[in-house]
Structure 1
Amino acid sequence: MSEETLLLVDGSSFLYRAFHALPDLRNGEGEPTGAVYGMVAMLRRLRNDGKLSGGARMGAVVFDAPGPTFRDDWYPEYKATRKAMPDDLRKQIPVIHELVRALGWPLVMIEGIEADDVIGTLARQASERGMKTVVATGDKDLAQLVDDKVVLVDTMTRDNGPPKPLDREAVIEKFGVPPERIVDWLALVGDTVDNVPGVPKCGPKTAVKWLEQYGSLDEVVAHADEIKGVVGDNLRKSLDWLPTARKLVTVKTDCALPGELGVDAALQLGDDDDETLRELYTRCGFRTWLRELEGESPRPRARVVGARGAADTVSPAASAARDSDNAGAAGNGADGTASDAGSAGAQARQPVYETVLTDAQLDRWIARIEKAELVAFDTETTSLDPMRAELVGLSLSVEPWEACYVPVAHTYAGAPDQLDRGHVLARLRPWLESPKHHKVGQNLKYDAHVLENFGVKLAGIAHDTLLQSYVLEAHRSHDMDSLAERHLHRRTIRYDEVTGKGASRIGFEQVAVERATEYAAEDADVTMHLHRALYPRIAEDDRLLEIYRDIEVPVSVILQRVERNGVLVDTGALARQSDELGRKLMALEKQAYEVAGQPFNLNSPKQLGEILFGNLKLPVVKKTASGAPSTDEEVLAKLAEDYPLPRLLLDFRGLAKLKSTYTDKLPQMVDPKTGRVHTSYSQAVAVTGRLASSDPNLQNIPVRTAEGRRIREAFVAPPGAKIVSADYSQIELRIMAHISADPSLRRAFAEGMDVHRATASEVFGAAPADVSAEQRRYAKVINFGLIYGMSAFGLAQNLGIEREAAKNWIDRYFARYPGVREYMDRTRALAHEQGYVETVFGRRLWLAEINSPNGPRRAGAERAAINAPMQGTAADLIKMAMIAVQGWLDRERMRSKLIMQVHDELVLEVPEGELDAVREKLPGLMTGVARLDVPLEVEVGAGANWEQAH
Structure 2
Amino acid sequence: MTAPKPVLLVDGSSWLHRAFNALPPLSTKNGEPTGALFGVLNMLRRLLADYRPDYLAVVFDAPGKTFRHDLFTAYKAQRPPLDPQLIQQIQPLHDCVRALGLPLLQVAGVEADDVIGTLTQQATERGFSVLIVSGDKDLTQLVGEKVRMLDTMKNVVTDVAGVEQKFGVPPALMVDWLALVGDTADNIPGVPGVGAVTAAKWLRQHGSLDALMAGAADISGKIGDKLRAGLAQLPLSRQLATLDCQVPLPLAFEGLRPTPPDTAALRMLYQRYEFRAWLRELAVEAPERISTAPDTTALEQPTPNSAVATDDGPTTYEIILEQVAFDGWLGRLQTADLFAFDTETTSLNYLEAQIVGVSFAISPRQAAYVPLAHDYPGAPDQLNREQILERLRSLLEDPARPKLGQNLKYDSHVLANHGIALNGIRHDTLLQSYVLDSTARHDLDSLAERHLNLRTIHFEDVAGKGAKQLTFNQVSLEQAGPYAAEDADVTLRLHHCLWPNVEREPGLRWLYEEIEIPLIAVLTAMERVGVQVDAAHLRQQSSELAKRIWELEQQAYELAGERFNLASPKQLQAILFERMRLPAGKKTATGQTSTAEDVLQELALTYPLPRVILEHRTLSKLKSTYTDRLPEQIQRRTGRVHTSYHQAVTSTGRLSSSDPNLQNIPIRTLEGRRIRQAFVPEAGWVMLAADYSQIELRIMAHLSDDPGLLSAFRTGADVHRATAAEVFGVDLAAVSAEQRRSAKAINFGLIYGMSPFGLAQQLGIERSAARDYVERYFARYPRVKVYMEETRRQAAERGYVETVFGRRLYLPDIRSRNAQRRQAAERAAINAPMQGTAADIIKRAMLGVDRWLRESSFPARMLMQVHDELVFEVAEAKADQAEECIRAVMVGAADLRVPLEVDVGIGANWDEAH
For residue 823 of structure 1, what is the amino acid of its counterpart?
Y
Distance in 1, Cα, partners of 2:58 & 2:694: 67
Give 1:82 deviation, angstroms: 6.9
2:301 is aligned, of 314, 335, 340, to: 314
1:302 corresponding residue in structure 2 = 290
**1:601, distance to aligned residue in structure 2 (A):** 4.1
One-letter identity of the residue aligned with 2:304: A
Corresponding residue number in structure 2 for 1:136:
112
Q: How does 1:7-86 map to 2 (within 5 A)?
A: 17-24=17-24, 32-34=34-36, 37-38=39-40, 62=62, 85=83
Say if 1:90 and 1:940 are closer, same or farther in 2 by CA, change over 3 A.
Answer: farther
| Unaligned stretches of 5+ residues in structure 1 | 1-7, 50-54, 65-78, 109-114, 124-133, 140-152, 186-208, 214-261, 323-341
Identity %: 50
Moved more, 788-797 or 726-735: 788-797
- 2:95 equivalent in structure 1: 98
How far apart are the structure 2 equivalents of 1:412 and 1:176?
Answer: 56
Residue identity in the other structure for 1:857: R
SS state at 1:519 partner = helix
Find 1:782's aligned residue among 730, 746, 757.
746
CA contact (8 A) 1:320 1:351 kept: no
Is contact 2:358–2:369 with CA below 8 Å preserved after alignment? yes
Q: Which amino acid aligns with 1:551?
A: I
How does 1:349-388 map onto structure 2 within 5 Å? 349-388=313-352
Return the alpha-carbon distance in structure 1 between the equivalents of residues 582 and 177 of structure 2. 37
How far the C-alpha of 1:38 sits from its partner, in A, is 4.7
C-alpha distance in 2, partners of 1:446/1:10?
42
Q: Which amino acid aligns with 1:315?
A: P
Cα pair distance change 1:600/1:14, threshold 3 Å: closer
Q: 2:832 pairs with 844, 868, 880, which one?
A: 868
Are positions 1:161 and 2:140 aligned together? yes
Q: Secondary structure at the match of 2:813?
A: coil
Aligned match for 1:589, one of 550, 553, 561:
553
Q: 1:439 aligns with which of 394, 403, 423?
A: 403
Q: Give the distance between the partners of 1:15 and 1:408, measured in 2 at CA.
A: 47
* Partners of 2:519 and 2:659 in 1: CA distance: 20
Q: Which amino acid aligns with 1:904?
A: D
User: How many angstroms apart in 1 are the aligned matches of 2:389 and 2:899?
Assistant: 49
- Secondary structure, aligned partner of 1:793: helix
Which letter does structure 2 place at the counterpart of 1:33?
A: G
Q: Which secondary structure does the structure 1 equivalent of 2:419 belong to? A: coil
Superposition CA RMSD, Å: 4.5
Mapping of 1:776-925 within 5 angstroms? Answer: 776-925=740-889
What does 1:716-731 correspond to in 2, within 5 Å?
A: 716-731=680-695
State the partner residue of 1:390.
354
C-alpha contact 2:11 2:59 (8 A) present in aligned 1: no
Q: SS where residue 839 of structure 2 aligns? A: helix
In the alignment, the residues of structure 1 paired with residue 28 and residue 639 of structure 2 have an alpha-carbon distance, to the nearest angstrom, of 47
Between the aligned partners of 1:438 and 1:553, the Cα distance in structure 2 is 12
Measured against aligned partners, the alpha-carbon deviations of 1:291-350 in whole angstroms (never above 9, x if no partner) come to 9x999x9632122125x357553222299643xxxxxxxxxxxxxxxxxxx34xx2xx22
Question: 1 CA distance for matches of 2:400 and 2:697?
Answer: 42
1:358 and 1:945 mapped to 2: Cα distance? 54
Partner Cα separation in structure 2 for residue 57 and residue 608 of structure 1: 41
Query: Out of 444, 448, 467, which is 1:480 matched to?
Result: 444
Query: Retained in 2: the 8 A contact 1:36–1:92?
Result: no
Q: Match of 1:158, as an amino acid?
A: K
Secondary structure in structure 2 of the residue aligned to 1:585:
helix
Structure 2 contact 794–801 (Cα < 8 Å) conserved: yes
Would the aligned equivalents of 1:32 and 1:92 in 2 still touch at CA under 8 Å?
yes
Alignment map for 1:387-426 (pairs within 5 Å): 387-426=351-390
| 1:405 partner SS | strand
Show the counterpart of 2:126: none
Residue pairs, 1:567-606, within 5 angstroms: 567-596=531-560, 599-605=563-569
CA distance in 1, matches of 2:458, 2:659: 25
After alignment, is 365-374 or 620-629 more displaced? 620-629
CA contact (8 A) 1:9 1:62 kept: no
Q: How does 1:279-290 map to 2 (within 5 A)?
A: none
Bigger drift between 614-623 and 789-798 goes to: 614-623
Taking the aligned partners of 1:105 and 1:867, their CA distance within structure 2 comes to 45
Query: Structure 1 residues 585, 23: closer, same or farther in 2, change over 3 A?
Result: same
Q: Secondary structure at the match of 1:677?
A: coil
Task: Give the equivalent residue in structure 2 for 1:940.
Answer: 904
TM-score by length of 1: 0.74
Q: Structure 1 residues 636, 839: CA separation in 2 closer, same or farther (over 3 Å shift)?
A: same
For 1:286 and 1:746, how far apart are their aligned partners in 2? 48
1:392-435 CA-to-partner distances (Å, cap 9, x unmatched) read 00011211111211111010122111111111111111111111
What does residue 701 of structure 2 align with? 737
Over 3 Å counting, the alpha-carbon distance change for 1:837 and 1:86 in structure 2 is farther
Report what 1:686 is aligned to. 650
Change over 3 Å in CA distance of 1:569–1:25 after alignment to 2: farther
The equivalences for 1:248-259 within 5 A come to: none
Q: Give per-residue Cα distances to partners, 1:441-480, cap 9 Å, x unaligned.
A: 0000000100111111111111111101111121111111
Q: Which residue of the partner structure matches residue 394 of structure 2?
A: 430
Q: 1:136 to 1:939 in 2, by over 3 A?
A: same
Paired residue secondary structure (1:849):
coil
For 2:865 and 2:734, the matched residues in 1 are separated by: 38
Q: Which moved more, 1:870-879 or 1:519-528?
A: 519-528
Task: Work out whether 1:552 is the aligned partner of 2:519.
Answer: no
Going from structure 1 to structure 2, the CA distance change for 1:522 and 1:807 (only over 3 Å counts) comes to: same
Q: TM-score, normalised by structure 2?
A: 0.77
* Counterpart AA for 1:378: D
What SS is found at the alignment partner of 1:909?
strand
Counterpart contact for 1:10–1:62, Cα < 8 Å = no
Distance in 1, matches of 2:175 and 2:559, equals 47
| CA apart distance, 1:97 | 3.9
Quote how far apart the aligned CAs of 1:713 are: 0.5
2:799 and 2:812 in contact (8 A); partners too: yes
Task: Please say which structure displays the higher CA radius of gyration.
Answer: 1
Cα pair 1:303 1:314 within 8 Å, conserved? yes
1:750 counterpart (714, 720, 723): 714
- The structural deviation recorded for 1:176 is 14
Name the CA distance, whole Å, in 1 between partners of 2:780 and 2:693: 23
Taking a change above 3 Å as real, the CA distance of residues 532 and 86 of structure 1, as seen in their structure-2 partners, is: same
- The one-letter code of the counterpart of 2:835 is Q
Match of 2:671 among 707, 714, 717: 707
**Cα offsets for 1:638-665 (capped at 9, x unmatched):** 2222233332232222112111111011
Name the stretch that deviates more: 389-398 or 359-368.
359-368
CA contact (8 A) 1:304 1:514 kept: no
Q: Secondary structure at the match of 1:676?
A: coil
Q: Counterpart of 1:502? A: 466
Give 1:275 deviation, angstroms: 4.3
Structure 2 residue runs of 5 or longer lacking an equivalent are 1-8, 65-76, 116-131, 144-173, 190-228, 234-248
Residues 927 and 938 of structure 1 are in contact (CA less than 8 Å); yes or no, is this contact kept in structure 2?
Answer: yes
Cα separation, 2, equivalents of 1:595 and 1:56: 54
Cα distance between partner residues in 2 of 1:658 and 1:281: 53
1:726 Cα deviation (Å)? 0.9
Give secondary structure in 1 for the equivalent of 2:900: coil
Cα offsets for 1:98-148 (capped at 9, x unmatched): 22432568999xxxxxx9xxx76xx5xxxxxxxxxx442799xxxxxxxxx
Q: Residues 715-755 of structure 1: CA distance to partner in whole angstroms, max 9, x if unpaired?
A: 10000111111111111111111111111111111111111
Counterpart of 1:463 in 2: which secondary structure?
strand
CA apart distance, 1:616: 5.2
Cα deviation digits, residues 598-621 of structure 1 (max 9, x gap): 555433445545554566554444
Aligned to 2:596: 632
**What residue identity is the alignment partner of 1:571?**
A
